[in-house]
Amino acid sequence: MKSYSYILFILLFVFASCSHQTEITSPDGSLFVSFRLTDAGAPEYAVALDGETVIDWSALGLKCAEQDMTANFVLQGSDSRFHQETWETVWGEEREITDTYKEMVVHLRHSSGAEMDITFRAFNDGFAFRYSFSEQELKSLTITEEASEYRFTAEHQVWSIPWRTEYYEGLWTKAPLSAIDTVCSPVTIELQNGGYAFVHEASLRDYPAQNLYYADGALRTYLTPWLDEHAHIMPDKAYKNVPFPSPWRMVILTRTLPELVASRIMLNLNPPCRIDDTSWIKPMKFMGIWWGMHIKTMTWEAGPKHGATTANMERYLRFAKEHGIDAVLAEGWNLGWEDWKHFDFTTPYPDWDMDYLSKLAGELGVQIVGHNETGGNAADYECNLDSIYRYHAAHGIHAIKTGYVSPIVRTVNGLQFNKGQAGVRHYRKVIETAAKYHICIDNHEPVMPTGLQRTWPNLMTQEGVRGQEWNAWSVDGGNPCEHVTVLPFTRILAGPVDFTPGVFHFENPVIPTTRVHSTLMNQLGLFVCFYSPLQMACDLPEHYMEHADAFRFIEQVPCDWEHSLLVDGKIGDFCIFARQGRATDDWYIGGITDEQPREAVVPLSMLDQGKKYSLTLYRDGDDADWLTRPYAYNIEKGEVTCSDTLRIRMAAGGGFAAAILPKN
Ligand code: NOJ
d(CA 536, ligand 1 centre) in Å: 13
% of the chain at pLDDT higher than 70: 97
Dist. CA 372 → ligand 1 center (Å): 10
**Last residue of one domain, picked from the residues 559, 574, 604:** 559
264 and 293 together in one domain: no
| ∠ CA 61-201-536, rounded to 5° | 165
Average pLDDT over residues 10-29: 67
Span 154-173, pLDDT tens digits: 999 999 999 999 999 999 99
Ligand 1 atom 6: the closest Cα is on which residue? 403
Q: What is the pLDDT of residues 586-618, one digit of tens each?
A: 999 999 999 999 999 999 999 999 999 999 999
Based on the fold, state whether residues 263 and 323 are members of the same structural domain. no
If asked whether residues 253 and 324 sit together in one domain, one would say no
Q: Are residues 297 and 232 in the same domain?
A: no
Higher pLDDT, 511 or 596: 596
Give the domain-ending residue among 499, 530, 559. Answer: 559
Instruction: Tell me, yes or no, whether 610 lies in a domain.
Output: no
Non-local (6+) Cβ contacts of 133 within 8 A are: 114, 115, 116, 117, 141, 240, 242, 243, 244, 245
Q: Is the pLDDT assigned to residue 12 strictly greater than 60?
A: no
Domain boundary among 505, 535, 559: 559
Q: Which residues are registered as beta bridge partners of 561?
A: 581
* pLDDT attached to residue 5: 38
Residue 125 Cβ inside 6 Å of ligand 1? The answer reads no
Give the tens place of pLDDT for each residue, 214-244.
Answer: 999 999 999 999 999 999 999 999 999 999 9
For residue 561, report the distance from its CA to the centre of ligand 1, in Å.
27
Pairing of strands 633-640, 613-620: antiparallel
- Check residue 507 and give its pLDDT: 84
The pLDDT assigned to 508 comes to 84
331 lines ligand 1 (CB under 6 A): yes
Q: Is 639 inside a domain boundary?
A: no
Q: Same domain for 311 and 251?
A: no
- 260 and 290 together in one domain: no
Is 274 a member of any domain? no
* Residue 124 pLDDT exceeds 80: yes
Rounded Cα–Cα distance for residues 167 and 414 (Å): 18
pLDDT given for residue 511 in this prediction:
86
**What is the structure's pLDDT at 664?**
75
**Which helix (H) or strand (E) covers residue 553, if one does?**
helix 548-556
For residues 253 and 304, membership in a common domain is answered with no
Q: Kindly provide the residue ranges of all beta strands, DSSP E only, lying in 182-299, ordered along the sequence.
A: 183-184, 187-190, 196-202, 210-215, 218-223, 238-241, 244-245, 248-254, 284-289
Q: Which contiguous run of DSSP H or E holds residue 569? A: strand 561-570
Question: Is the shortest distance between the CB of 403 and ligand 1 below 6 Å?
Answer: yes
Q: Tell me, what's the pLDDT at 7?
A: 38
Q: Which of 340, 343, 444 to mutate to test the pocket of ligand 1 (most atoms within 8 A of CB)?
A: 444
- 288 and 257 fall within a common domain: no
Q: Which residues are catalytic?
A: 469
Tell me the whole-structure pTM to 2 decimals.
0.96
How many A from CA of 397 to the centre of ligand 1?
19
The 10 Å Cβ neighbour count of residue 145 is 20
Q: What is the pLDDT of residues 378-405, one digit of tens each?
A: 999 999 999 999 999 999 999 999 999 9
Ligand 1 lined by 661 (C-beta under 6 Å): no
Q: How many domains does the chain have?
A: 2
CB of residue 405 inside a 6 A radius of ligand 1: yes
| Shared-domain flag, residues 291 and 156 | no
pLDDT value of residue 16: 40
Q: Residue 560 gets which letter from DSSP?
A: S
Q: Is 373 in the pocket of ligand 1 (CB under 6 A)?
A: yes
Q: How confident is the model at residue 4 (pLDDT cuts 50, 70, 90)?
A: very low
Confidence grade of residue 1 (pLDDT, cut at 50, 70, 90): very low
Task: Output the pLDDT for position 510.
Answer: 84
What is the CA 639 to chain-centroid distance, rounded? Answer: 36
Q: Is the pLDDT of residue 324 over 70?
A: yes
Phi, psi for residue 52 in degrees, rounded to 5 = -110, 130
Would you say the CB of residue 469 lies under 6 angstroms from ligand 1? yes
Q: How many Å lie between the centroid of ligand 1 and the Cα of residue 371?
A: 9
Q: What is the pLDDT of residues 91-113, one digit of tens each?
A: 999 999 999 999 999 999 999 99
DSSP 3-state helix, strand, coil percentages of the chain (rounded to 5)?
Answer: 20, 40, 40
Query: Which of 386, 377, 437 is CA-nearest to residue 410?
Result: 377
Kindly report the average pLDDT of the chain as a whole number: 96
Domain membership flag for residue 621: no
Find the CATH number of the domain harbouring 356: 3.20.20.70
Give pLDDT, residue 61.
98
Domain span at residue 318 reads 284-559
Alpha helices (H) in 242-296, listed in sequence order: 257-262, 265-268, 291-294
Give the Cα separation of 337 and 348 in Å (integer). Answer: 11
Q: Name the residue at shortest CA distance from atom 10 of ligand 1.
A: 373
Closest CA to 413 of 403, 401, 400, 426: 426
